[in-house]
Amino acid sequence: MIKILIAEDEQAIADLLAMNLERSGYACTCVADGLSAIEALERETFDLALLDVMMPGADGYDVLHYIRPMNIPAIFITAKDSVADRVRGLHEGADDYITKPFEIVEMLARVESVLRRYNKAAQHFSLDGVEVDIPSRTVTKNGVPVSLTMKEFDLLVLFLQNKNIALFRETLYRRVWGGDYTGEGRTVDLHVQRLRKKLEWEEHISAVYKVGYRLN
């Protein structure tokens, strides 16, 4: 399981990050200051660090400099949102820079993107008898192969990467089809219907009123 260190001194934000990351299948360790983050890094091995910039003891830049030799990717999540702050963060070695407030779906997408660049993103998913292998693009249910189209497979992976999170139709369309969702047509709905039927997941993939769909 991929392990993520969250260094954030605002408890509510740390809890929000941990809850949504754990729902997506990651293991999280939360600390409230930079020195505690460094101590955690000395005790455990992590695949990714999410760092606030302004923390007591040692700030996010101190922690970033500490982990650089470890080849651990890092993402800043901070209220410091000026262009100069973002440029400095990236120049100092952060792999991404997210400003508060942030959208959960975007945060998860950025985490997945950074992990993928480091070849640490989850490549296999398992849920209720369904096994999904991303490199081979194969799906089985209870050991029996399930034939999915390319878009159905991409849609399934997106749901699995964002389990228990309601995804807007606009998000699904943009991430799977690569364009802007106009609200016209039923492309997303039809693909979700076919995916439900093929996997027998009528109860797993639920419609969310005025939003889109969620994998439960």
Least confident of 130-144, 163-177, 187-201: 163-177
CATH of segment(s) 3-117:
3.40.50.2300
How sure is the predictor about 184, in pLDDT bands with cuts at 50, 70 and 90?
low
Q: In whole angstroms, how far apart are CA 166 and each of 104, 181, 185, 215?
A: 10, 17, 20, 8
pTM greater than 0.95 (yes/no): no
CATH code for residues 124-215? 1.10.10.10
| Range from 120-124, 137-141, 199-203 carrying the lowest mean pLDDT | 120-124
Beta bridge partners of 130: 127, 141
Cα distance between residue 201 and residue 156, in whole Å: 11
* Shared fold status for 3-117 and 124-215: no
Distance CA(207)–CA(201), nearest Å, equals 12
Residue range 85-127, pLDDT digits in tens: 999 999 999 999 999 999 998 999 999 889 988 877 678 888 9
pLDDT at residue 16, rounded to an integer: 95
Domain boundaries, the chain: 3-117, 124-215
